Chains A and B, each alone.
Chain A
Amino acid sequence: DSGVTQTPKHLITATGQRVTLRCSPRSGDLSVYWYQQSLDQGLQFLIQYYNGEERAKGNILERFSAQQFPDLHSELNLSSLELGDSALYFCASSVDDAYTDTQYFGPGTRLTVL
């Protein structure tokens, strides 16, 4: 158990809908990262938050957005869903200082868009 929690575990929805994925980082970790894992694209970095502020953006679509709250949990919002958004979405966290670099992954949320 990495200490990172993600809810829900599974999500099934229809095209055009909007969903919210939630992540709670390990205790003491200030950074949260979101990744998308799909069969054709592999593991892709989406976005990183550090202590409530957006720090880095990767291959995140404009239909997707995220935020990190004062208690450091994070939410990834996916809107106008398309079939191609079906994937496993991982959240990871790290302490994120100059000497600690390891990211610990949560169990993932499997999103199925029908």
Chain B
Amino acid sequence: AQTVTQSQPEMSVQEAETVTLSCTYDTSESDYYLFWYKQPPSRQMILVIRQEAYKQQNATENRFSVNFQKAAKSFSLKISDSQLGDAAMYFCAYRSAVLGRDDKIIFGKGTRLHILP
């Protein structure tokens, strides 16, 4: 069974600085998707960024980028120029891309990110 581990329950970063959130996962599959979701105090789950396992290039969305290390099964999220609105719980998530498998997402326990003004 696949698992997703976020080893940092909480992190803090100064506004305008850069922070990296860690995520590791375990799977025997070769084809899958990885996601970072953000859950602000409103509790809405917001997709931040996604990565296809077959792509070597790291995904980037504005100030958010990932460092995807497939061999190491590592998928970290880097937030540049941190803003107060980035304060939230961040979830790393895994989804199989194998046809015929169910489509559920497996989430890590989350990392709560605090932005210090």
Seen from chain A, the residues whose Cβ lies within 8 Å of a Cβ on chain B are 2, 31, 33, 35, 42-43, 45, 48, 55-56, 58, 88, 90, 92, 94, 96, 98, 101-105, 107-108, 110
Q: A101-B95, A101-B97, A102-B50 are in contact. Are A107 and B103 (CB under 8 A)?
A: no
List residues of chain A with CB within 8 A of the CB of B103.
31, 33, 48, 55-56, 94, 96, 101, 103
With both beta carbons as reference points, the residue of chain B lying nearest to A96 in the complex is identified as B103
Interface of A is mostly: strand
Residues A102 and B91 in contact in the complex (CB < 8 Å), given A33-B104, A55-B103, A56-B104: no
Number of interface residues of B (CB under 8 A): 22
- Asked if B112 CB lies within 8 Å of chain A CBs, one says no
Which among A43, A58, A90, A96 has the highest number of chain B CB atoms within 10 Å?
A43
Q: Is the CB of A45 within 8 A of B106?
A: yes
Once the chains bind, are A107 and B47 in contact (CB under 8 Å)?
no
23 A-B contact pairs sorted by A residue (CB < 8 Å): A31-B103, A42-B107, A42-B110, A43-B91, A45-B104, A48-B104, A55-B103, A56-B103, A88-B43, A92-B45, A98-B99, A101-B33, A102-B35, A102-B47, A102-B50, A103-B47, A105-B37, A105-B44, A105-B45, A107-B43, A107-B44, A108-B43, A108-B45
Interface residues of B (CB under 8 A from A): 33, 35, 37, 42-47, 50, 91, 95, 97, 99, 102-107, 109-110
**B35 (CB) vs chain A CBs: closest residue:** A102
The reply to whether B105 and A103 contact each other, CB–CB distance below 8 Å, is yes
Would B110 and A56 count as touching, CB distance under 8 A? no
Complex Cα–Cα for A43 and B102 (A): 17
Q: A35-B105, A101-B95, A103-B105 are in contact. List 11 more A-B contacts (CB 8 A).
A: A43-B107, A48-B102, A56-B103, A56-B104, A92-B45, A94-B103, A98-B99, A101-B33, A101-B103, A103-B95, A107-B44
